[in-house]
Structure 1
Amino acid sequence: MSSESSSRASILFPLPLPEAFDYLVPEGLELGLGDHVLAPLGKRMVHGVVWGLKPGPGERALKSVEAPMGGAPLPAGTRQFVDWLARYLVQPPGVILRSVLRSAEALKPSPTETLYQVSGTEAPRMTAARAAVLDAALALGEASAADIAREAGVGAGVVKGLATAGALTTISRPIDPPYGIPDPEAEGLSLTMLQAEAGGVLRRLVRAGGFQAALLDGVTGSGKTEVYFEAIAEVLRRHPDGQILIMLPEIALTAAVLSRFEARFGCAPAIWHSAAGPKVRRRCWREVAEGRARIVVGARSALFLPFTNLKLIIVDEEHDPTYKQDEGLPYQGRDLAVLRAKIEGAMIVLASATPSLESLTNAQAGRYVHVRLPARPGSAVLPQVDTIDLREHPPEAGRWISPPLIAAMVETLQAGEQVLLYLNRRGYAPLVLCRACGHRMTSPDTQSYLVEHRYTGRLVCHVTGFSMPRPKFCPECQAEDSLTSVGPGVERVAEEAKHLFPDAKIEIYSSDSASGADLVDRMERGEIDILVGTQIAAKGHNFPNLTLVGVIDADLGLAGGDPRAGERTFQTLVQVAGRAGRAERPGRALLQTHQPEHEAIQALIAGDRDAFLETEMMAREALGLPPFGRMAAISFQARDVQAVEAAAGRYAAAAPLTDGVEIWGPAEPPRALVRGWHRRRILVRADKAIDISAYLRAWKSRVKIPPSIRVTIDVDPYSFM
């Protein structure tokens, strides 16, 4: 603990409270900023963090801090990050702190386990059971009593008896061992001239020190990972205690990045994401807080880890919309990563083949260094992209793969190459309706269609998670066997592909059915002929024998009122097309579409990204939309429809009148009922010069909303559902 002490400590709790609360510091207790303590809150003791220290007892009677909790103090950079986010996201600071304090167990030293190994001392009274234990211990090396006993086929007491007799040596080892130390001098892949030049730029930025931002803008398959590995190696060389965060948009990409990282630096990094178990997260949080974890690979929530000396952040696939969190605490991970780097005085690299308009605008304005990789290495070239006009070449009735795409698949498979069929729609069919009465199967208390998953025989709501067996009778008119599936999902496309190519090995890759790293490995080894995948198949994978990508519905992302729809469609199609032809064999992509004239599709065919982005930027600038303006969404939810309408109306009426701010709504969002909660929404558009967070805070202070109404403020919304 710090020697700094005071009579009062301001304690911030990880709860939705408006501010830190003051407590007396008992005599003899020394506290420092960031220390973890127990303090009384109401009738219970709560884990809090020392947020401020003040001299004197103050004028009011105060409760006392109960006790310190130990563990490394929360670093100054992390505390500053919490305070800044609370202002920017218009949230109580305790809500942000809750995202930081993810593992209270991590404040304690690692628990230990007792292991045994053969000592070489002869055991007295040798028996058959003891001999079996010694043989098992010799074969296993260091092992627990349970493992040795299981191997020997005896009880654990025999193992412990041999330890007491001296024939086995006991070893106490932490259950959460330290991570390996990465070697920056380990040999990596040979870089092309373009890659070496880009890596040199990043190394120079590392050497310059302080906050630096770079946009690593490289076509698919150009080697962006190997290039940003150069920045990582330079940080490791120059900062023996420096820490590095690599952010990924999808957990599914973690295994591939880990294997490449181990090959390059000789050890595995720390892992942080929602699917990791409590033990993994406890170990990562503790090692980061103690400064021992040098490199962390994680999802967007890894931004909230208590780094002690953060020197570099990599945001891979920085354009990806999954960096935006909509549920719970809404935030955009990419933007927060830039903020965290600025607070910590660290460098940040934003990497993508299809950068976001926000990042490109910053690069064009000179705020980011623009590092380009315009070509793939060696003989690999970008795939040829063509459209299939479904108005001229429709599939057969009840089918979804057009004749030209079928012909291309035949040619590809006969050449011994692989096919990826892409459709960003899970399940078998997105809609199930009754032929007799027209009833559409929806999720209870939710305006969301149930998606048929034929492999499991269930109807699933992808909004709430509700699931039910596919009924035999229509719930509306009771007609038997009248329910029919409408539209395709990946399961239906895979079924059609199996009908067309019965001898082909076909797999589905989606968040429902993915078998993880094993499926990716088998695809890389050429053991799969046709992969039918959702967006998860379009991200970060390198399949050397994949030469044909067929997009079943290139128009899928263009519908609706999302201002980013064109940009997202273009990015997705570039990413999925970029899976083809990444090795020596040339690749091609065929896009099935009813809108071949759409600017996003035309730009992809022409390979003219800049023209498309210029058109998008002009449209956004004319409307004052991001990145040329600011947006926010205020959402209201209540069980009673009249209550939510009244609350949203009162909130809208209290909006401050300010030039350069437009208020739209309140109105129903497309999903106006979710899990029995009625929803209304206000959208706010503001000129770029306006501090929209300050405006929203002032607005919020004018209105008192009853506790029965849930109000969520989302700065820079991405979802308009």
Structure 2
Amino acid sequence: MRIAKILLPVAKLFPLDYLIPEDLELNIGDLVVVPFRNKELTGIVWELVSNSEAKKIKTIRAKVPLNLNITSEVLELIKWMSSYYMSELGSIAKLVLPMDIAEKPIKVKEQKVNNNFVLPDLLEEQKQAVTILNESNKPTLVKGVTGSGKTEIYFHLIADYLAKGKQVLVMLPEIALSTQIINRFIERFGFEPIIWNSSVTKAHKKMILRGILSDKVKVVIGARSSLFLPFKNLGLIVIDEEHDDSYKQDDGILYNARDTAIVRGTFDKAQIVLCSATPSIETIHNIEIGKYQLVTLVNRYKNVALPNIEIIDMTKEKLSKNSYLSKLLIEAIKGNLDNKKQVLLFLNRRGYAPLMLCKACGHRLTCKFCSSWMVVHKATKKLECHHCGYQSKIFSSCPECLEDETLTICGPGIERIEEEAKALFPESKIAVISKDHAKSPEKIAQLLHQMENLEIDILIGTQIITKGYHFPNLTLVGVIDADLGSNNADLRASERTFQLLHQVGGRAGRGDSKGVVYLQSYYPDNTIFSYVKAGDEDSFFANELEIRKSADMPPFSKTASVILSGSSEAKILEIARDMVRIAPKANVKILGPASSLMSKLAGKYRYRILIIADKKFNLQKYLKFWLSLIKIPSFCHLKIDIDPKSFY
């Protein structure tokens, strides 16, 4: 009896046994069509065996046309992810095969690669970087100041790999970043790269998968999930803006796409290039211990000067009611506009105001399903929870004390900054970019095009605007609240704040005119600002690493979070306490249980247990044994987050 264990792209499923028809020859990795429940699915031949313990075994229907298969390198990646992130094989397979590709034949458009493309000449510093990269046999970080031409460097590498007939993957934290890169790519190479993200239609994704499996697709630019594409001949993986938190997936399978891409590169024997002006602490540490190599660019392209950084002490400002722009910033904006230059105002807070409260009883309007405040959105005339999406009308009276006309809004969101900017500069063309205002890549592309064509004078944006955009006529950046995020208890608060301020400041002065960045702060003596002002990331990283080392926190230790959630807070807390009570004795530190920073999310109360261990300790093995000691009731949802990036 010939049996194949078939891995199906079905969550929480392990390989299932199927009979192999007599006339069918199979190899591990082949794609086959099998019956599953009341439908047919495409699965991966995971293992070939001679017997089965299953009582009833169904038969494989057929091979997928064109003998398409998954390489041994991708199979190794699936195994590694399942083991490292403690997820079922079927859940990982769903990332590799997100939809069925065994239906009627699909016309695959081949990328016509013309190796006669001409790339612009590099500066001497960039040439040296390319030489080092060509000789490197380990993951390499290209660390350069904002505007130093990191993209041009990896374009030269792409050219080399295309000449060798290899496939290339360029990963971006936000696919919104792809617009400018795609345009530059087409200029350089004469063909359009394939884009892979959540907005691509199902039919187009099927065509892309077929093209990758048949080696007709050579270059893909994509977000997190692109790293699971079943490349047959992968030669180069570029991880742009490698420091960005968007590479960490915080729902479904909890994984870090940057780290997983590096593992994939190891299996595929592909070159790994990481790029960032503000690398992650983990990457800096990996360079220090010799695991990664470093290439540094200290000059902006064409030797354009870095912007000046000015700190505005908001404790000395006398702002009028409902005003959030300091007099100094307003005057600077006026001067910039008079010189026909563009302005970027940055506030990492969506909506009109982050809070509505009652002046009579002090009640704060919170989400009925979460422990978060309801954000005021004036444009839609609604209150919205930015965590679960719940919306309600804007109340005229307090829902707690029922008093009329006592509700007031507190603090600014970008809609409020837009309102103030329009009042101050009525003749200026003002636009807003955020998840609310630019909900599709097409809308983002439209705004970027308007910015590039000087159709926008003042652009107001959230974090989405900090990521690698190039606007040569933008010479002034105003950060409305530079304190936002730096004073919370998160391990990575300082790192994130430094990266964010450095990146947003890097949008200024990338053309012929020098830029200036204004940081508005109520804590101007914050040491982070001194590092940002001096452009001294090396000292910042050294100080931050010393703090982490003394606290025995990553990257000097391993961490994992056990997250328990359910509709009964008392029962969830009881289970969490029971878990800690029976935790096996080992060389680990267990903290908690403690209420998550977001203690209630989508109607579920949440508690966390944090486990800290030595770098060499097998944390996954320990967690598996620990979980085997307790039965988790069905009303309690348990998630394990290996290498957590946040503790919300």
> Does the CA-based 8 Å contact 2:17-2:54 persist in structure 1?
no
**Residue 189 of structure 1 pairs with residue 120 of structure 2:** yes
Matched residue, 1:295? 219
**Aligned partners of 2:9 and 2:98 also within 8 Å:** no
**Deviations 1:51-91 (Å, cap 9, x if unpaired)?**
0112x345765513231251411221111100011110011
1:631 is matched with which residue? 559
1:248 equivalent in structure 2: 172
1:81 matched residue in structure 2:
77
Deviation of 1:13 after TM superposition, in Å, equals 2.6
Aligned position for 1:694: 621
Helix, strand or coil at the partner of 2:596: coil
Q: Which has the larger radius of gyration?
A: 1
1:608 aligns to what? 536
Decide whether the 8 Å contact of 1:179 with 1:270 is kept in 2.
no
Superposed CA deviations along residues 20-76 of structure 1, whole A, max 9, x for unmatched, are 23333232222221223344556765543210112x345765513231251411221
Cα pair 1:271 1:284 within 8 Å, conserved: no
What is the distance in 2 between the residues matched to 1:42 and 1:533?
Answer: 48
| Inter-partner Cα distance in structure 2 for 1:345 and 1:655 | 39
Task: Give distance in 2, aligned partners of 1:697 and 1:40.
Answer: 32
Could you tell me which residue of structure 2 aligns to residue 91 of structure 1? 87
**What's the counterpart of residue 575 of structure 2?**
647
- SS in structure 2 at match of 1:78: helix
Which residue in the other structure is 1:550 paired with? 478
Instruction: Spell out, residue by residue over 1:5-27, the C-alpha distance to the aligned partner (whole angstroms, 9 max, x if none).
Output: x7121122333446423333232
Name 2:59's counterpart in structure 1: 65
Report the Cα distance in structure 2 between the residues aligned to 1:567 and 1:17, rounded to whole angstroms.
Answer: 35
Q: CA deviation at 1:379?
A: 4.3
- CA gap 1:260/1:637 in 2 versus in 1, 3 angstroms: same
Distance between the aligned counterparts of 1:44 and 1:410, measured in 2? 65
Give the SS at the match of 1:521.
helix
Structure 1 residue 636: Cα displacement: 0.7
Is 1:7 the counterpart of 2:11 in the alignment?
no
Aligned to 2:210: 286
Say whether residues 1:37 and 2:58 are aligned partners. Answer: no
Q: Tell me the secondary structure at the aligned position of residue 391 of structure 1.
A: helix
1:405 matches 2:401: no
Residues 1:357 and 2:281 are matched in the alignment: yes
Q: Does 1:666 align with 2:597?
A: no
After TM superposition, the structure 1 stretch with the greater mean CA deviation from structure 2, 342-351 or 15-24, is 15-24
Per-residue CA deviation, residues 233-289 of structure 1 (Å, 9 max, x unaligned), is 111112x2x211100011211211111111111111111111222122222122112
| Structure 1, 541-550 or 470-479: larger mean CA deviation | 470-479
| Contact map agreement 2:485 2:497 (CA 8 A) in 1 | yes
2:266 equivalent in structure 1: 342
CA contact (8 A) 1:633 1:681 kept: yes
Paired residues of 2:265 and 2:271 also in contact (CA < 8 A): yes
User: Which protein has greater RCO, CA pairs closer than 8 Å, 6+ apart?
Assistant: 2
| AA aligned opposite 1:579 | R
Which aligned pairs between 1:165-184 and structure 2 lie closer than 5 A?
174=107, 177-184=108-115
Tell me if 1:223 matches 2:149.
Answer: yes
Compute the TM-score of the two structures, normalised by the length of structure 2.
Answer: 0.96
User: Structure 1 61/464 Cα, relative in aligned 2: closer, same or farther at 3 Å?
Assistant: closer
Q: Name the CA distance, whole Å, in 2 between partners of 1:187 and 1:253.
A: 24
* AA aligned opposite 2:454: G
- Is the 8 Å Cα contact of residues 307 and 505 (structure 2) preserved in structure 1? yes
Name the aligned partner's letter for residue 575 of structure 1.
Q
Give the match for residue 233 of structure 1.
159
Corresponding residue number in structure 2 for 1:395: 319
Superposed CA offset, 1:483-531 (max 9, x none)? 2211000110111111111111111111111231111111112221111
Equivalent position SS for 1:331: coil
Moved more, 698-707 or 540-549: 698-707
Displacement of 1:626 after TM fit?
1.1
Equivalent position amino acid for 2:295 in 1: V
| Amino acid in the other structure paired with 1:11 | I
Using a 3 Å threshold, how does the CA distance of structure 1 residues 94 and 562 change in structure 2: closer, same or farther? same
SS at match of 2:497: helix
Moved more, 337-346 or 280-289: 280-289
Which structure 2 residues correspond to residues 515-534 of structure 1 after superposition, within 5 A? 515-534=443-462
Runs of at least 5 residues in structure 1 that lack an aligned partner in the other structure: 1-5, 112-173, 206-210
- 1:497 equivalenced with 2:421 (yes/no): yes
Once residues 11 and 578 of structure 2 are traced to their aligned partners in structure 1, the CA distance between those partners, rounded to angstroms, is 23
SS in 2 for 1:670: strand
8 Å contact kept, 1:188–1:263: no
**Preserved contact between residue 42 and residue 102 of structure 2 (Cα < 8 Å):** no
Is 31-40 or 434-443 further displaced after alignment?
31-40
How far 1:424 sits from its partner (Å)? Answer: 0.4
8 Å Cα contact 2:349/2:462 also seen in 1: yes
Instruction: Supply the distance in 2 between the matched residues of 1:657 and 1:401 (Cα, whole angstroms).
Output: 55
**Aligned partner (choices 250, 255, 258) of residue 326 of structure 1:** 250
Which residue number corresponds to residue 47 of structure 2?
Answer: 52
Change (3 A) 1:58 1:543: closer
Q: 1:343 to 1:266 in 2, by over 3 A?
A: same
User: CA separation in 2, counterparts of 1:110 and 1:624?
Assistant: 55
CA distance change for structure 1 residues 357 and 501 in 2, over 3 Å: closer, same or farther? Answer: same
Point out where structure 2 has 5 or more consecutive residues left out of the alignment.
none
Tell me the amino acid that sits aligned with residue 131 of structure 2.
Answer: G
1:142 match: none
Q: Secondary structure at the match of 1:202?
A: helix
- Report the CA distance between 1:108 and its aligned residue: 3.7
Amino acid at match of 1:204: E
- Contact kept? 1:413, 1:529, Cα under 8 Å: yes
Q: With structure 1 as the length reference, what TM-score do the two structures score?
A: 0.86
Q: Secondary structure of 2:59's partner? A: coil
Q: Which amino acid aligns with 2:580?
A: A
What is the match of residue 201 of structure 1? 132
Cα deviation, 1:194-231, whole Å, max 9, x if unaligned, reads 112212222334xxxxx631100011000100001111
- Name the CA distance, whole Å, in 1 between partners of 2:98 and 2:523: 47
- Distance in 2 between the 1:396 and 1:285 partners? 57
**Kept after mapping to 1: 8 A contact 2:481/2:520:** yes
State the partner residue of 2:497: 569
Indicate if the aligned counterparts of 1:312 and 1:347 stay in contact, CA closer than 8 A: yes
Distance 2:95 2:60 in 1: 24
CA distance in 1, matches of 2:51, 2:549: 55
Preserved CA contact (<8 Å) 1:380 1:583: yes
Amino acid of the residue matched to residue 48 of structure 1? G
User: 1:23·1:62 contact (CA, 8 Å) conserved in 2?
Assistant: no
- How far apart in 1 are the matches of 2:163 and 2:171? 21
Q: Structure 1 residues 513, 230: closer, same or farther in 2, change over 3 A?
A: same
- 1:432 paired with 2:366, answer no
Superposition pairs for residues 472-487 of structure 1, below 5 Å? 472-487=396-411
Secondary structure in 1 matching 2:548: helix
CA contact (8 A) 1:26 1:64 kept: no
- After superposition, the Cα gap between the structure-2 partners of 1:107 and 1:290, relative to the gap in structure 1 and judged at 3 Å, is farther
SS in 2 for 1:669: strand
Distance across 1 between alignment mates of 2:88 and 2:53? 26
Cα distance, 1:706–1:718 mapped onto 2, change above 3 Å: same
Q: 1:469–1:598: structure 2 CA closer, same or farther, 3 Å change rule?
A: same
RMSD: 1.8
Q: Does 1:506 align with 2:430?
A: yes
